């Protein structure tokens, strides 16, 4: 098992290219199974979750070819004949549950294990299943597996997501575009990942009204064709590096290959810290302020502040000149990183779904342990800002969602290396 060894106190200066989005890529990969011909997806990041989902898709009988150096993925669904996603693969990542919508949507039946994923917080799949039942799909549970069956065409109807959910919106779209005569998803997620999936499905031949709004209406077609598509850049990776550029004194970062419009209100919040942020097309430049100002916030569904940047923001606030509060209204139990930051010297207190941060506190190197993907990167940020050396353990979480993280940080001056924990 690997760990990062980080010597903090170095300013970050230079250019970092932003990789393709993991969260956007996974729905596109699942959607490829709906086509009658192969799909090519470009700008696919080399991440543990991508490799895992490639294997989930291969189990179905599809051919998956990943040209890693070019970040190009080709999926040929012609020989899909095993309509099952097994526990030993699905438990490794929740997004494997998209196989339910993809398989029942194209083939009329599916057997998919209930998912695993990050260890924090309850994220049940009830909405996925209730939505499919409302659509007319027969759902049953058997020894930890979901069994879904549907006729060639079903009536559809409507279903309101309470609360709004990206995962459920994706699965209901996958299930309905070939099956439901008319199906409306109310309170649908509006995140860029969902918009990209909708546009991808339309390019394949789907009929979807209301793209980009909270009401999506699908009308089934008889066939979808594979397409050639480019995946969106990763807005969470982008936000993470923007925070790094603002947080670490003396830093000046240029981030390339960005889609600034997908950041929602994040950029406006970052500017309030005193950081200089300039946007020119697909390039964003961030310069750290002399004094970092405290900025409190609440996470919200898109276009509000993303829950996936909550841990990174709270980490930055440990270096702000004053007290701030960060409240997560999306997931209430996403503060496992706080005790680890306290070990580094942070002054933080969690009450229910709010963390209060008293800054500025000097951070001093220590050994800290990752518990989930975004918590892991927040510990790396803290280690970069800390005096002396730190160890960030269990970085396999990071490998799920950040492509070549240490290489990108080294290229802008960070003293970070990957070593075996033993």
Peptide bond into 163 cis (omega under 30): yes
Backbone φ/ψ region at 375: left (φ over 0), alpha (ψ -120 to 50), beta: alpha
Beta-carbon count within 10 A of 411 CB: 14
Task: Report how far apart, in Å, the C-alpha atoms of 8 and of each of 13, 114, 304 are.
Answer: 14, 41, 32
Q: Are 114 and 125 in contact (CB under 8 A)?
A: yes
- DSSP secondary structure string, 300-314? -STTSB-GGGHHHHH
Q: Are 311 and 378 in contact (CB under 8 A)?
A: yes
Is there a binding annotation on residue 88? no
Beta-carbon count within 10 A of 50 CB: 24
**Backbone dihedral angles phi then psi of residue 57, each to the nearest 5 degrees:** -65, -40
State how far the Cα of 368 lies from the Cα of 340, in Å rounded to an integer: 6
**Coil, strand or helix: which one is 277?**
strand
Q: Are 283 and 255 in contact (CB under 8 A)?
A: yes
Is there a binding annotation on residue 360? no
State how far the Cα of 397 lies from the Cα of 395, in Å rounded to an integer: 5
How long is the chain? 422
Is there a binding annotation on residue 328? no
Task: Choose the catalytic residue: 118, 197, 255, 338.
Answer: 118
DSSP H/E element including 6? strand 2-7
**Strand bridging mode 215-219 / 228-230:** unpaired
Task: Give the residue carrying structure tokens 């802008």.
Answer: 412
Is there a binding annotation on residue 126? yes
Is there a binding annotation on residue 94? yes
Is there a binding annotation on residue 124? yes
Task: Give the residue carrying structure tokens 């979901």.
Answer: 146
Is there a binding annotation on residue 125? yes
Is there a binding annotation on residue 151? no
Residue 118 among the catalytic residues: yes
Q: Which residues of 133-169 are buried (b: 16+ CB within 10 A; e: fewer)?
A: ebbbbebeeeeebbbbebeeebebeebbbeebbbbbb
Feature table: binding site for phosphoenolpyruvate: 22-23
Feature table: binding site for UDP-N-acetyl-alpha-D-glucosamine: 94, 123-127, 308, 330
Feature table: binding site: 22-23, 94, 123-127, 308, 330
Residues labelled catalytic: 118
């Amino acid at each position: 098992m690997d760990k990062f060894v980080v010597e903090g106190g170095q300013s970050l200066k230079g250019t970092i290219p932003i990789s393709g989005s993991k969260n956007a890529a996974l729905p596109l990969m699942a959607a490829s199974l709906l086509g009658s011909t192969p799909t090519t997806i470009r700008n696919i990041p080399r991440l543990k979750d991508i490799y895992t989902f490639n294997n989930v898709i291969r189990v179905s009988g599809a051919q998956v070819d990943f040209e890693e150096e070019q970040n190009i993925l080709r999926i040929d669904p012609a020989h899909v004949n095993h309509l099952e996603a097994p526990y030993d693969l699905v438990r490794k990542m929740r997004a494997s549950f998209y196989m339910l919508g993809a398989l029942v949507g194209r083939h009329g039946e599916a057997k998919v294990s209930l998912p695993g994923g990050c260890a924090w917080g309850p994220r049940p799949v009830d909405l996925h299943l209730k939505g499919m039942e409302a659509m007319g799909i027969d759902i049953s549970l058997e020894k930890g597996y979901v069994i879904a069956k549907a006729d060639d065409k079903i009536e559809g109807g409507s279903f309101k997501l309470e609360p709004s959910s990206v995962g459920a919106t994706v699965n209901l779209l996958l299930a309905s575009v070939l099956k439901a005569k008319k199906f409306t998803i109310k309170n649908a997620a509006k995140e860029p990942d969902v918009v990209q999936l909708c546009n991808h499905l339309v390019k394949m031949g789907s009929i979807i009204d209301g793209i980009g709004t909270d009401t999506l209406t699908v009308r089934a077609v008889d066939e979808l064709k594979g397409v050639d598509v480019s995946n969106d850049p990763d807005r969470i990776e982008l936000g993470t590096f923007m925070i790094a550029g603002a947080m670490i004194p003396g830093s000046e970062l240029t981030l390339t290959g960005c889609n600034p419009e997908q950041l929602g209100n994040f950029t406006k919040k970052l500017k309030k810290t005193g950081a200089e942020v300039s946007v020119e097309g697909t390039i964003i430049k961030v310069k750290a302020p002399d004094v970092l100002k405290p900025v409190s916030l609440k996470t919200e569904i898109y276009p509000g502040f993303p829950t996936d940047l909550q841990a990174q923001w709270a980490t930055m606030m440990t270096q702000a000149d004053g007290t701030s509060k960060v409240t997560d209204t999306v997931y209430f139990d996403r503060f496992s990183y706080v005790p680890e930051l306290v070990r580094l010297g942070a002054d933080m207190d969690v009450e229910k779904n709010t963390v209060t941060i008293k800054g500025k506190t000097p951070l001093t190197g220590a050994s800290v342990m990752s518990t989930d993907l975004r918590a892991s990167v927040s510990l790396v940020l803290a280690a970069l800002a800390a005096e002396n050396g730190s160890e960030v353990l269990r970085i396999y979480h990071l490998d799920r969602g950040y492509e070549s993280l240490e290489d990108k940080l080294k290229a802008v001056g960070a003293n970070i290396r990957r070593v075996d924990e033993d």
